[in-house]
Structures are given as C-alpha cells and as structure tokens.
Structure 1
Amino acid sequence: MAFFVDTHAHLDGEEFNSDLIAVMTRAQEAGVGAVFLPAIDVATSLNILSLSKAHPDYLYPMAGLHPEEVKADYKEALAQIKTIVFDSPQKDKLIAIGEVGLDYYWSREFEHEQLAAFEEQVKWSVETRLPLMIHCRKAQNEMVHLLKHYEKELPGGVFHCFTGNEKEAKELLQFDRFVLGVGGVLTFKKSHLPEVLPAAVPLDRIVLETDSPYMAPVPHRGERNEPAFVAHVLEKMAESYGITTDELASRTTANVNRVFGTALGISL
C-alpha cells in the first residue's frame, strides 16, 4: 500500500514522553511515512528541532507562535522564534512556519496582538519561502483579509483542522498554493465533512493530519490521538470521495510534496 503523511502532530507534548518510540513504530506499521511537527512557542520550537534531529527522515520540524500563546509580551517570544527561523544552525531543517494564525474562540483580549503576530510570521513565510501551517478558529474573515495582502507572494501552506462548510472551503481555496488539512473530525458521527469535502474540495487540495494528541478519530474517540490513527481518516476520506485508500494516499502525499517539497529538500 502507498504510504501517507501525518502533516500535523504534537509529538513533543508530555503525552508522548513515556512511549514516543512505540508511537512512531505504530505509525510506521500503519503506513505513515512521515510526521510533521508544528510548534506553538519558543520552547516547543526548540524541542521539535531536537526531536527531529534525533529522528531524521521521519519527523520534520516547524517553528512558530500559536495564536493562543500570544499574550501582552508576544514580541519577546516572536523575536526569539525569529532567531530560530533565520539564524539557528538548524534553520535549514525547518519545513514550515507554524503553527500560526488567529483564534478568537475563547477571547478577543489579545485580538490586535494576534493579528500583529500572525502578520509578522506571514512575512517570514514570504521571506524564507517556507509554507505556513495556519490555525484559525472563529476568525476566518480576519485571516482571509490579512492573507489577501500577501496572496501573490506567499509560497503556500495548510489551513489546518478544516471543519467548515462548502462556502468556507471555497473561500480558503481561493489561495491557490494552499491546501486544507483534515483530521479526525471527518470520522465523527455528526460530521458534515463526508458530504462537504467531495462537493467542495478537489483531491489535489487536501492533506491528512491527526493533531495528536487531540481529536482522535473513530474508533479511538476520547483516547489520546497518535499518528497511526491517521489511517482511519484516510479510510473515511477515501470512502467519501469514492476512491481506494491507495489512490488517496498517493494523491495526498503528492499534495504534501507540492506544498512542502522545496522546504523538505526531498520528495516523500
């Protein structure tokens, strides 16, 4: 069977401290050929670089400041992450700027700071040619408005954790070099994604993800999520599109190579 990629897993989290090697082994046995690791702050940006250095050609690092980590002192954190992106010895190992974006789900207390931090990191993407891994919750209008200013310059990226409707998918897909990241929500009983995706999202505009350790797919819902479980997302997505899992694995991996290929320096 063709292998596939988990484009979004937080394997640096304490949830994996005791059994990371076993988690990676299960992922490989399930057909996962690579796992991409988003950062959320300074510490995770550094930890993920170390983790990927220890497991080259399987774990691939990102660096960035997550919107929920943007506080009043965000400029200090951003300055440190910028040093990692532009000046660290391992900067060439980074495959994306992420996880970045906007999140107004819980609060708009740091709305302006989030916008400023996101725009700064969008500029890094333009300068470095590293794609963006974008987190957006309850802020799509603001995100789209900001991205339009840089649309022609951006190298591309992933709109992570897409759970929207056909209209929202169409709005995101106007950014030609971006794809939608879809995870475990696709498998949930009340999810509308099995109908939305084939109706609104071409097969060349989608990638697989878990967001481990969060949002485990059925039949593991409620458990700690891990990259091996992306196989369940693959199966449900193939069923939704009416194609084989082999074809979907090949198509989504081709999409990964198109979006991340330059940064990866290889073809997965």
Structure 2
Amino acid sequence: MIDTHAHIYASEFDQDREQVVQRALDQGIDRILLPNIDLDSIQPMLDTEAAFPHICRSMMGLHPCYVDENVDSTLEVIRGWFDKHSFIAVGEIGIDLYWDKTFRAQQEQAFVTQLRWAKQLDLPVVIHTRDSIKETLALLEQEQDGSLRGVFHCFGGSIEEAKAINALGFHLGLGGVSTFKNGGMDKVIPHLDMNYVILETDCPYLAPVPHRGKRNEPAYTALVASRIAGLRELSVEQVDSLTTHNAETLFSLKP
C-alpha cells in the first residue's frame, strides 16, 4: 500500500519517526509520500526523505493556509526548489476558505501559479480544498488543457462532486474521514470510480476510527483500505492492488 499524503516530517513525529515508519512497513505500507506546506517545512521534509530514501518521496508546493501578503516572494523560493531537487508532484496546493478568507485573492493567485508550474514541469498536483470545492473546480476547469492531473486529497464530498473531479481527470484521496460514523462517506464510497481512488492518512491529522482524535500515522492506511473494502464488498488485497496501481501511475512511481 501507498500512503499518498503524510506529514511525517512534522514535529509530532520527532521522538519516534523510525518506529512510525517501521509500523507502516509492518502493515504493508511500503511507500509514504510527503507534501510540502510552507518554507519552514521544506528542510524537515527533505531530511525525512533522505533518512528513508526507498520509502519516502517529496512534493513541493505552498499550502493555501500559509498564503499571505508575501505570496510572490514565497512562491519564488518554492519555484526555485524544482531546479535543485527531484519532486514527484506540485503540492500541496489549493484553496481553503474555512478558517480565514483574508487572503482569498492571494490563495487563488498561488493556486493558478502552481497549476501552471505543474503543466510546465509535467507533474501531478495535490490539491487541498476546504469550503472551496466550487471555486477550486472553476479554476481547475479554466486551467485544464488536457495535461493537468492530480488528486483532491482528503476527499469528503458528494457523489456529484466526485464525478465533477473525475471528469477533469483527477483522483480522490481517501483517508480517515472515510471511517467516521457520521462522515457521510459510507453513502459515497460505494459509488466512486475505483480507477480514481488512492489511499492517504494526512497524518498527524484525521486519524481513522478507532484512533480518532489521536495522532494519525501511515500504518493506519490499512484501516482506510479495510473500510473501503467493506463498503465496496472487495477484499483488502483488491483495494490495495487497485489503489497502489493508481498511485504508481499518477505519481510515476516504479512498482
């Protein structure tokens, strides 16, 4: 299995990162993909990738919650990293209108700028969207020239939203929310196109049941796979095979 979205470089893992990676391996999760969020996360992320070179792969991008009035200079630094290091995706990027709409215009500017990088660099994008699905889809539709591809990570939307995302050629990242009793995903997952589904944790956040409210970690990808298997009447092995193939294809990972 592949955890396609994990922040194991975060300080929450500083005391036991090696054990966390080992627990993931023990559960059959053999690759962990690391999305960047801001300028401060770059070095810890690259250090984590260097410590686990056969397991961890990094992305580069500016998360919408870290967009502010300095967006132009921040993006300049982020863009420079693509010339210095090999990344598997542009991410995580997007629009978040949940906490604060102060820098909405700058968020949209950063999102479009990074989508255009992805087209230039021929890389997939990893999209964070919160209270902004319509706005995100509108900008994506505007920029889609047939070459844009990627994933809406932490998907918790409706069947209609899933179809709109798939119609643009994008995948859905399913994580801990899929296991929440009142999350509504039990009504959605049975109707998803499994050719567009990949697994993730978004650790240390959004731990799946029965660990909800505690620190999340890549080993719990297996719990998400089990939940999807139950809702789709598939074996965990089938879910593993399908989602691993999807992730390998999307991120150009070797099997």
CA contact (8 A) 2:10 2:44 kept: no
Aligned residue in 2 for 1:108: 101
Using the size of structure 2 for normalisation, the TM-score is 0.97
Q: What is the aligned counterpart of 1:185 among 164, 177, 192?
A: 177
Q: How does 1:84-123 map to 2 (within 5 A)?
A: 84-85=81-82, 87-88=83-84, 90=85, 92=86, 94-123=87-116
Letter in 2 for 1:171: A
Instruction: Tell me by how many angstroms 1:64 deviates.
Output: 0.7
Q: Which consecutive aligned stretches of 4+ in structure 1 deviate over 4 angstroms post-superposition?
A: none
Q: What is the aligned counterpart of 1:205 among 192, 196, 204?
A: 196
CA contact (8 A) 1:126 1:153 kept: no
CA contact (8 A) 2:173 2:197 kept: yes
Q: Secondary structure at the match of 1:53?
A: helix
Aligned residue in 2 for 1:194: 186
Using the size of structure 1 for normalisation, the TM-score is 0.93
Instruction: Tell me by how many angstroms 1:54 deviates.
Output: 2.1
Letter in 1 for 2:216: N
C-alpha spacing 1:204/1:119, structure 2 compared with 1 (3 Å): same
CA contact (8 A) 1:42 1:64 kept: no
Q: Partners of 1:146 and 1:125 in 2: how far apart?
A: 14
Aligned residue in 2 for 1:232: 223
* Count of aligned pairs: 255
Q: Secondary structure at the match of 2:127?
A: strand
Q: Partners of 1:66 and 1:154 in 2: how far apart?
A: 22
Q: What is the aligned counterpart of 1:257 among 244, 248, 251?
A: 248
Question: Which digits, 9 at most, give the CA deviation of each residue in 1:201-241, with x for residues without a partner?
Answer: 11111000000000100111111000001111010000111
Q: Partners of 2:172 and 2:18 in 1: how far apart?
A: 29
Question: Which digits, 9 at most, give the CA deviation of each residue in 1:6-33, with x for residues without a partner?
Answer: 0000011100001000000000001101
CA contact (8 A) 2:49 2:58 kept: yes
Gaps of 5+ in 2: none
Aligned residue in 2 for 1:46: 43
Superposed CA RMSD in Å reads 1.0
Segment of structure 1 superposing worse, 122-131 or 151-160: 151-160
Aligned residue in 1 for 2:212: 221
Q: Partners of 2:152 and 2:101 in 1: how far apart?
A: 21
Q: How does 1:15-26 map to 2 (within 5 A)?
A: 15-26=12-23
CA contact (8 A) 2:206 2:213 kept: yes
Aligned residue in 2 for 1:76: 73
Q: Secondary structure at the match of 1:31?
A: coil
CA contact (8 A) 1:96 1:133 kept: yes
